[in-house]
Structure 1
């Protein structure tokens, strides 16, 4: 079948559908670097330049049987029942998908997005999408899936939406691939000889050694805390205020003054509106809960934590008044379970919110930001080629010509963080092809899943 690859990135949909013999007739993306990588691997489908804004070329897109789209998540209009669902989506990129679907009437719409799409804008976004799909004459199914349940060592939850044109819907339901149990081994994607530029810096190793000592000396008789550890919240004695909405403006000014030493609190001024004061204090209930838990952790490990703070100068300032250790590195989150007590046998990410440690049997989701997973026992980051493997791009040429990444590591990390997982797309497309061929490996037709049943 012929497919159009919208918001195509470097071609995750293309890689999957190409393996199955489908033909790409058009591809578009507004990112210059991603378009260059796409063309280096797939050429110019239909003879069209990949680098383009869909809104500028939408009437040039030829007929297709499948629309593939990992579309951006945008809020829709909420002006009410007086507007149709088409009007509510107007001005969004999802509207452009719908325009093409109504113009060409392809058999299939195959959509992908982050799982938060389901709850985005208090569920309004997903409700409008589902209603608009039905309005256009398609039956649809959706499910949140992750490749680590299908043999790829990356946890990457995404919502996949499969839409079949009404006249092609059989008397049985479409179903997504069944989850499978796999003993994942991340070593299968790691290269033995890697350039030293991927090594951790001396500062990063120092920060991990600092937290390694912490791991080995807190809660030695019990389990490690599962909540984020914030070193600047150990010794505080400020009263936790609870819900800030209950206070007057004068009381909020006093609360802001009391909590002013914390980096997340902005100055609270009398000229501010009450909601602005609450936003500046930035103490939602979940944050107060973490502060409470960190104080509890400190009280039960006071002697060690006091010496640890002093030894590593965790909260001290340099001569210019800047933190000796960046604030984000004084925050730490252990998600590696009860069977480990070492950073160096797990996978880590240096995130803006702190250092996060996860179990060493699969990688956390790649993201477009600079949070490249670090392999603890190798003390280095994943290379772009290794990141491509956990996105199931064939950089090793096992299925033919190897997939070629761009020259910039930074751009490759960004592109792979934005990409769809090739193996997930391929397995779902296999099910789509079976469904259209009438293979009754599917349950009998039943009531459609809706957002309310999620």
Structure 2
């Protein structure tokens, strides 16, 4: 962690064991590694076959359990002797697209089971950190979770923060809960949406230069063939030209990439103005004047609007450049998996804060 004057000191050198629940493609794993703390991942648990394939591809030496969490027991988790649980339960029950069904949505079943296991454990973890979408903080599920935590002697803090608040050119507003088991208590605090005090805990692996740059730093050097592969299709331009969120290499912001990116046109993430030699405003002016003609989208095609590649999306989510996807995983699957993942930088910073004392 940074050598600034901290109100709290990092953990001692003794290794702390971690179990990842809903481990996905390894965002939590990268974050744990980036903290620089002596954390050892004991197991990663996920039911998604493709996500586990990507995880194993990047972390072949980690124990991956392809399990339904509903099948886990308190005794099994006690056997890990874990110090930290990390979890990203399914977010769909807390989104508008998921109808905000909250605790009556079957996709919360595994999380409620996990809460029950936590209550039954003989040796619960000293630390818990969870991530979910904005909206979870207002849910009945959250109410039940914090009730369980209080009953077990945990104190906690909650956050609604985005990587953009740290200077990363991507918006991804997410809810985070950090819990410590007594006697390692948190000071009581309301839901927080500022990050100033968290900047003391930014891992040294994330240098400040990477936190105040434009999108160009995250782009791949694509061949013309690769560019063609990721161009926004004509049918999308014809139907949704006015609804696209368009950014350039010089932009300092981009929209949140969701699991529907590359499949749905609007509201799932930004597209890139690849050929900046063509003026964006002028191209749209020409389009407005000619959109009823057969060549209506010609001016827009000259912009070479394209999707961010999976690797570019991953980098904007602070995954290291070394992260790759197996060749058997399609681009559509990559985007879906990334949309369900976490921002590595934000999670690593919060973990450093959680595991200080």
State the TM-score, normalizing by the size of structure 1: 0.54
Q: Deviations over 1:193-229 (max 9, x none)?
A: 2412112223445x3xxxxxxxxxxxxxxxxxxxxxx
- Residue 324 of structure 2 corresponds to 404
- Residue 199 of structure 1 corresponds to 231
Matched, 1:51 2:66: yes
- Residue 216 of structure 2 corresponds to 187
Pairing 1:224-373 to 2, within 5 Å after superposition: 326=239, 329=240, 332-333=242-243, 346=247, 360-369=251-260, 370=263, 371=268, 373=270
Distance 1:155 1:127, change over 3 A: same
**1:144, 1:391 → 2: CA distance?**
16
Pairing 1:416-435 to 2, within 5 Å after superposition: 416-434=338-356
Counterpart pick for 1:152 among 148, 168, 172: 168
Q: Deviations over 1:1-51 (max 9, x none)?
A: 111000110011111112324111011111111001111112353x4x432
Distance 1:76 1:202, change over 3 A: closer
Matched, 1:387 2:333: no
CA RMSD of aligned residues (A): 2.9
**2:68, 2:134 → 1: CA distance?**
25
Is the partner of 1:40 in helix, strand or coil? helix
- Residue 151 of structure 2 corresponds to 135
Q: Deviations over 1:287-317 (max 9, x none)?
A: xxxxxxxxxxxxxxxxxxxxxxxxxxxxxxx
**1:91, 1:200 → 2: CA distance?**
35
Is the partner of 2:47 in helix, strand or coil? coil
Matched, 1:6 2:29: no
> Is the CA contact 2:256–2:269 (under 8 Å) kept in the aligned structure 1?
no
> Is the CA contact 1:155–1:365 (under 8 Å) kept in the aligned structure 2?
yes
> Is the CA contact 2:161–2:195 (under 8 Å) kept in the aligned structure 1?
no
Matched, 1:115 2:123: no
Counterpart pick for 1:27 among 32, 44, 54: 44
Is the partner of 2:338 in helix, strand or coil? helix
- Residue 76 of structure 1 corresponds to 103
Structure 1: 5+ residue runs without aligned partners? 78-88, 208-325, 336-342, 348-358, 396-401, 437-454
- Residue 126 of structure 1 corresponds to 142
Is the partner of 1:154 in helix, strand or coil? coil
Shift of 1:366: 1.0
**1:170, 1:140 → 2: CA distance?**
6
**2:103, 2:150 → 1: CA distance?**
17
Shift of 1:428: 0.5
**1:90, 1:70 → 2: CA distance?**
12
More contact order relative to length (CA 8 Å, sep ≥ 6): 2
Structure label with greater radius of gyration: 1
Shift of 1:184: 3.9
**1:169, 1:119 → 2: CA distance?**
24
Is the partner of 2:355 in helix, strand or coil? helix
- Residue 265 of structure 1 corresponds to none
> Is the CA contact 2:127–2:355 (under 8 Å) kept in the aligned structure 1?
no
Distance 1:90 1:151, change over 3 A: closer
Distance 1:63 1:155, change over 3 A: same
Is the partner of 1:152 in helix, strand or coil? coil
> Is the CA contact 2:156–2:186 (under 8 Å) kept in the aligned structure 1?
no
**1:393, 1:91 → 2: CA distance?**
27
- Residue 276 of structure 1 corresponds to none
Shift of 1:55: 1.8
Shift of 1:433: 2.1
Distance 1:90 1:42, change over 3 A: closer
**1:393, 1:30 → 2: CA distance?**
22
> Is the CA contact 1:66–1:106 (under 8 Å) kept in the aligned structure 2?
yes
Distance 1:376 1:177, change over 3 A: same
**1:3, 1:135 → 2: CA distance?**
22
> Is the CA contact 2:69–2:114 (under 8 Å) kept in the aligned structure 1?
no
Q: Deviations over 1:222-241 (max 9, x none)?
A: xxxxxxxxxxxxxxxxxxxx
Structure 2: 5+ residue runs without aligned partners? 1-15, 94-101, 200-207, 276-304
Shift of 1:172: 8.2
**1:90, 1:38 → 2: CA distance?**
22
> Is the CA contact 2:23–2:88 (under 8 Å) kept in the aligned structure 1?
yes
Q: Deviations over 1:246-289 (max 9, x none)?
A: xxxxxxxxxxxxxxxxxxxxxxxxxxxxxxxxxxxxxxxxxxxx
